[in-house]
A and B are shown apart, each in its own frame.
Chain A
Amino acid sequence: MEDQILALTAELAAIKSAAQVTNTMFAEAYYYLTIPLMVIIHAGFLLYEMGQTRVKNVLSSGIKNLLAFAFTIITFYLFGWWFYWALPTFPYDLASGAGYMEISGIAYANAIALPWGDSAQYMGPNMGDHSSGVFWGAFALFAATTASIASGALIERIQTVGFVICAIVLGSFAWVVAAAWAWHADGWLVTEFGFHDFGAAGLVHAVAGFFALGVLVNLGPRVGKFNADGSANRIAGHNLPLTITGLMLIIVGFFGFLMACIILPGEGWSWYADAGTTIYGTPMTLSSLAFNVCLAASGGIIGAWVFTRDPFWMMSGCLAGIISVASGLDVYFGSHVIIISIVAGMLIKPCADWLEGLGIDDAVGAVTVHGTIGLFGVIMLGVFGSGIPALGAFAPEGVASVNLVGQIVGALVMFLLGFVPGYAVSWILNKAGMLRIPDAVQIKGLDVVKVPAQAFPESMKSK
């Protein structure tokens, strides 16, 4: 009998060990697969941006987009990841253990997020670590997404290297600070204000959108965009089907982006052994994303259709619909999502027209779709979701719950974290002569001046 019990105990231990290996490998594969899904976002932005460009500038726009992706990911490895772990409690306290969860601060970041010294073991191959690489990869793609969001607004007149520097500041610093403050469980916007932004409406989309606005102020419009009396001309891209297809690919990639925002159960880094959660440790399921993302995409298209029959704005409405509910995808009921996303879709064209009336040439509507709707989404969660606990059951006493004031404060912080760095870095670049392409080159066409290749047969000419 005793022998049988011992044998069963050993067998049970082996089964538990095998189950843990399966869980670990599943979790690693889950996050790994969000990375190529998010690369689809970039394929989408590439098509979208090149489609919105005139024939004479197509390849230049593509090059700019590709370089933003590449430089953002590498600089996120070199220092962006460190900022995320170091800054959640900044400016209150930079000491390790300053936050409730004790997983932040400079010493903690030095221990896990630098590609040199002892922490290098978590920044490269390590058979005992199945999480650092895939989490870093997902975050690196979030970072590259911010750069791609800003990229489209600036097409046809921003210099390539100047834009790359902007992309590095945005992707490896500005949005990372927002994520540290508003996503990390030690982040002061979360613990002190109850800020909740599950799907990054504020900390990715609004930051990137208003970063683009800061750059646009210094960059100025494309040659020919505005007349002497201030009225605007429509500068059509060369391939609307390409743009619309690109937007649809961005939506596909968004499913991966949002998947990566879930914390799976059962691992050493999980919030719980048996339940999936948000990054805040609050409960959620993939099923809630299935309901709400599909409904939001649809609601946004319908809302945009109310004010425009233009398929570009209808697909932009699709994007806006998802962004408008991203903060609360984990807690909204489907009907909430339909209402909010339809309103978001209705808002984008009037908001974009208003911005254009101020003399801002946002070539793809990124400031409106990502910036304005991002903030709209953050605040809508405060309207509908006040009272939701900001952190999971592990939260100590005194942590704020989600509330309207906290969401408004968070929205203001997101605006500033986007606009101020965008304005500052582009102001410096402008003074250094590295921001705006000379008007004569814009008129001639960027590709013929600086790209040793042709996008299309010579029969296709730009007006």
Chain B
Amino acid sequence: MGYFADSFTELFNADGWIDMGMYIGAGSSMPGWFTVIASVMLVAILVKGNNDEQDHYK
């Protein structure tokens, strides 16, 4: 899932920046897996939050 380039030299020397993702995992399936993990975290947090809230109301 590494970064897309080891050096920016080639990009700086080009006519202009190319239209592509420039983040860790760009061009691989990793962003998608991180999105899945983030989504699961959100759902789990809501479930935990709701359980705690219901306990307060008992």
Contact = CB atoms under 8 A, between A and B. Distances in A.
Q: Sort chain B's interface into a size bin.
A: 20 to 34
Contacts of B26: 120-121, 124
B27 to A, nearest CB: 8
Interface string A134-177: 00000000000000000000000001111011000000000000
Contact of B20 (A78, A121, A165): A121
Interface stretch (A212-220, A300-308, A349-357, A434-442): A434-442
A78 B19 contact: no
Interface string A113-129: 00111001111111111
Interface string A355-370: 0000000000000000
Interface in B1-58: 11, 16-23, 26, 29, 31-32, 35, 38-39, 42, 46, 49-50, 53-54, 56-57
A115 B46 CA distance: 21
Interface string A88-129: 000000000000000000000000000111001111111111
Given A120-B31, A121-B21, A78 B39 contact: yes
Interface residues of A, number: 30
A437 B21 contact: no
A74 B57 contact: no
A441 B42 contact: no
Contacts of A434: 50
A427 interface: no
A449 B17 contact: no
A427 B20 CA distance: 44
Contacts of B42: 71, 74-75
Contacts of A128: 16-20
Contact of B49 (A78, A117, A160, A441): A160
- The B contact surface, by secondary structure, is helix
A120 B56 contact: no
Given A78-B35, A115-B35, A120 B21 contact: yes
A260 B56 CA distance: 42
B46 A159 contact: no
A161 B21 contact: no
Contacts of B22: 125-127
A433 interface: yes
Contacts of B18: 127-128
A164 B46 contact: yes
A36 B49 CA distance: 29
Contacts of B57: 437-438, 441, 449
A216 to B, nearest CB: 20
Contact of A115 (B31, B50, B53, B56): B31
A450 interface: yes
Interface in A59-98: 71, 74-75, 78
The 4 closest A-B pairs by CB, nearest first: A116-B32, A128-B19, A121-B21, A127-B17
Given A125-B21, A161-B53, 16 more contacts: A71-B42, A75-B42, A78-B35, A78-B39, A115-B32, A116-B29, A124-B21, A124-B26, A125-B23, A127-B17, A127-B18, A128-B19, A162-B50, A164-B49, A165-B46, A449-B57
28 contacts: A71-B42, A75-B42, A78-B38, A115-B31, A115-B32, A116-B31, A117-B32, A120-B31, A121-B19, A121-B20, A121-B21, A124-B31, A126-B20, A126-B21, A127-B22, A128-B17, A159-B50, A160-B53, A161-B50, A161-B53, A164-B46, A164-B49, A165-B46, A437-B57, A438-B57, A441-B56, A441-B57, A450-B53
Interface of A: 71, 74-75, 78, 115-117, 120-129, 159-162, 164-165, 433-434, 437-438, 441, 449-450
